[in-house]
Structure 1
Amino acid sequence: MGKEIERKFLINASAWLAIQKPVGKLLRQGYILTDPNKTIRVRIADHTGWLTIKGISVGASRLEYEYEIPLAEAKELLDNFSEAELEKIRYEITYKGKLWEVDVFAGYNNGLVVAEIELLSEDEQFEIPEWVAEEVTHDKKYYNSNLTKHPFKDWA
C-alpha cells in the first residue's frame, strides 16, 4: 500500500524571486478521473511518463500509487483520455534536509506558485524556508485536479 503525506503552501513572491533556483522541469499532467474520492493522473516530466492513482485526503495523508510508464503511452493517454490538463514548471529545492517541490503554474493557472513537502508522518517537524508563506494543505481549490476545472485565472 502506498501512502502520501504532503503539506502544501503558497509562496512569498518577492522572496521566491530573490533566491537562487535550480533548473526546473516542465510537467504536463492530465486527469482521467477527478472524483472527490479519487483521481487518476497521467504526467509527463522531461522524457518520462507516470500514471498516478490517489485516494481521498484525510488530513495531510492519502493513498497514492505511482507507476512509471512509457513516454509514448503517457502522451497517448493524455491526448485521448484526459478530461483536463495543466502545465507547470517544477523546481526541487532541498532546505534543511527536506525536499521542497515548488510548482510555478502556466496557462490558465499562470501566476500561481505552490510549494509542497512530503513527510514521513503528519506530525513530523520541519523548518519552513523564508520564501514559503501561508499553508493551504486543506484548501481543495489548490489541488491540481481542481485547478484543471477551476483555474487560478477565474478566481476573484
Structure 2
Amino acid sequence: MAKEIERKFLVRDGSWREASETSISFVQFYIAISSERSVRLRISNGRSAKLTLKFGSDLAARDEFEYTVPIADAREMMQFAVGKVIRKTRHHVRHRGYLYEVDVFNDVFDGMVIAELETPDAVPDDMLPPWLGAEVTGDMRYSNASLALNGFPEPVR
C-alpha cells in the first residue's frame, strides 16, 4: 500500500505539450463508488488493465491498492460500469523534477484538461509550472468518480 499526496489543477494553456515525454490512452470506468471508497478498472492503450481500490474521503491523501487483471476480464466488466465510461489521453510532463500527469479528456468530456501531481511530499506553489490554472484539489466535481457519476462539472471561477 502506498500513501500519496495528490494535487489536481485545471490546465491554463497548451504550453505543457512541448515537454510531454510520453502519452497513454485510457478507458476507465468504475464498478463501485461511495464517499469513502471506489473500485476502478482502467484499460491502458487497449493492451493492459488494472483494478484500483481507493479508500478514504480525503481526496489529497488516500490508501490505494492496484492489481493487474486480464484485459478480456476488464472489457467484460465494462458492462457493469457505474455511470459514464471515461476516455482520456494521459501525457507525462516533467517540471522541476516532478512528474505531472496531464489528462486530455475525450468523448463526453471533450475539452477538459486536468493535471495531477502525485508525490510522497508536499510541493510548494512557487515550484508549480506556469501552465497550471485553478487548483481543484479536493473539489469533488473534478474527481474521476464524480465525473463518471455526474458528468461535466460547471467551470471553476
Partner of 1:53: 53
Which amino acid is the alignment partner of residue 31 of structure 2? I
Q: 2:111 is paired with a residue of what secondary structure?
A: coil
TM-score normalized with structure 2 length: 0.87
Which amino acid is the alignment partner of residue 106 of structure 2? A
Q: 2:41 is paired with a residue of what secondary structure?
A: strand
Matches of 2:94 and 2:73, distance apart in 1: 31
In the TM superposition, residue 15 of structure 1 has moved relative to its aligned partner by 3.5
Partner of 1:98: 98
Partner of 2:117: 117
Distance 1:58 1:20, change over 3 A: closer
Partner of 1:83: 82
In the TM superposition, residue 63 of structure 1 has moved relative to its aligned partner by 0.8
Matches of 2:151 and 2:67, distance apart in 1: 27
Assess if the C-alpha contact under 8 Å between 2:20 and 2:94 holds in 1: no
Partner of 2:29: 30
Matches of 1:34 and 1:58, distance apart in 2: 14
Matches of 2:14 and 2:59, distance apart in 1: 30
Q: What's the Cα RMSD here?
A: 2.0
Distance 1:14 1:72, change over 3 A: closer
TM-score normalized with structure 1 length: 0.87
Aligned residues: 152
Identical columns (%): 36
Which amino acid is the alignment partner of residue 147 of structure 1? L
In the TM superposition, residue 107 of structure 1 has moved relative to its aligned partner by 1.4
Could you tell me which runs of 5 or more consecutive residues in structure 2 were left unpaired when the two chains were aligned. Answer: none
